Amino acid sequence: MKRYCHTVQYYETDRMGITHHSNYIRWMEEARIDYLAQIGWPYAKMEEMGVSSPVRRVECKYKHSTTFADTVYIDVSVAEFKGVVLRLNYRMEKADGSLVCEAYSEHCFLDAGGKILRVDQAYPALYAALNEDK
């Protein structure tokens, strides 16, 4: 799987020149969307099928700060998925290899009516793609 790459933008930093902590959550979202596209399930395709995947939980452990123009590489992997709740792990590193953040997010899947989907039953190909990585 290709790593997601993000360059810290000036507007993502605070008055001290450090990346504001809320941006790491946004980067996780960017990396998750990229990950889904890489496994053949772009989010736009899922939305066309009437499927959404809201965040249920997120946790970040910040290890090292970043600043404007730093390159951050994000590795995404499936920690657990049994058909209803998807847990993704994220590892963020600067270009020099220093660990920036370790995090995870949990997601469920909803149909167009807002009801929870059992992806293993409703979309077995998506379920298989998400479990290939484990």
Active site (catalytic) residues: 14
CA gyration radius, the chain: 16
What is d(CA 89, CA 32) in angstroms, rounded to the nearest whole number?
Answer: 10
What is d(CA 67, CA 115) in angstroms, rounded to the nearest whole number?
Answer: 41
CB 96 within 8 A of CB 72: no
Tokens of 13: 């930093």
